[in-house]
Amino acid sequence: MSPVVSAQKIADELAETPPSSAVSLTMSVDNYLDVIRGVVDLFANRRQMDTIYVTATISSDSIRRVLEALDIDSSNVYFVDCISQIMMGATSAQQDDRTTLVESPTMLENLMLKIEYLIRRSQSKDKLVVIDSINSLAIHNSNWILSEFLHILVSGLRSREAYTVILTVEEHSTPELNNLINLVCDHGVRAGKEEAE
């Protein structure tokens, strides 16, 4: 295996997809920071898109700190945080104009409603919705309901001409989960460790 895929390469691959695309982004745990830089900074920010970032793995507060550490402008990033409350770590201060809390990652309908709310509120012409990650959502939900959720969510986002990027951690994925994502996504970007040539 050769080194992980660069942030620029991730952004370039996303840039080749047309609006309304749903993209499955398979990454390695080692490549998380490059993925965030590639998706949020080099892809969305450069195109002046609003990013709706759904956090199911780590809290929005942590992602915000990562963005700060990477020196990435987060003024156009809005969070739907479905992990802080269940971890009992959320305070009222964390729910602000840019962060919406969902009580639990099992409340998938509420997750869709919060995304819908942020899309309606967004003034930006182009929007990107990032699901971080499908593996974390799969911990709390069966594949059946997850499949239904992704189908409705992605169809709705397509009709609003928003990009969807679904993050999958390759080390934690299963063939069932990969099939489920392949059913709703029209492009796949691999940002894991590159295969040796």
Partner 1 sequence: MAARTGERDRCVTGVEGLDTILYGGIPRTNTVLLTGSCGTGKTSLALEFLIHGAMKGENSLFISVTENSEKLLANIIPYKFFDKGLIKSGRLVFIDLPIMYERLGLNKSELSMEEIDLLVSSLTSLAEELGTRRLVIDSVTSVCYKLKTSEKIRDFILKISKSLSDLDCTSILVGELPAGSESYSSFGVEEAIADGIIIMANMERRGDLLRTLQVIKMRGTMHSRARYVLDLTPMGVLLVPLLKGGSTA
Q: Give the interface with partner 1 as residue ranges (CB under 8 A).
A: 103-104, 106-110, 112-114, 116-117, 120-121, 141-142, 144-149, 152, 156
| Residue closer to partner 1, measured from CB, 10 or 180 | 180
For partner 1, the closer of residues 14 and 112 by Cβ is 112
- Give the bridge partners for 164, in sequence order: 22, 129
Is the Cβ–Cβ distance between 35 and 44 less than 8 Å? no
Q: Which residue, among 194, 166, 192, 195, has the nearest Cα to 34 in the 3D structure?
A: 192
In the complex, least distance from residue 145 CB atom to partner 1, rounded to whole angstroms: 3
Exposure string (b/e) for 40-59, b if CB count within 10 Å is 16 or more? bbbbbbeeebbbbbbbbbbb
Q: Work out how close the CB of 101 gets to partner 1 at its nearest, in angstroms, rounded to a whole number.
A: 12
Q: Which is nearer to partner 1, 74 or 85 (CB)?
A: 85
Which of 72, 107 has the CB closer to partner 1?
107
Residue 120 CB, shortest distance to partner 1, in Å, is: 5
Q: How far is the CB of 108 from partner 1 (least distance, A)?
A: 6
- Beta-carbon count within 10 A of 90 CB: 19
> Measured between alpha carbons, how far is 18 from 15 in angstroms, rounded to an integer?
8
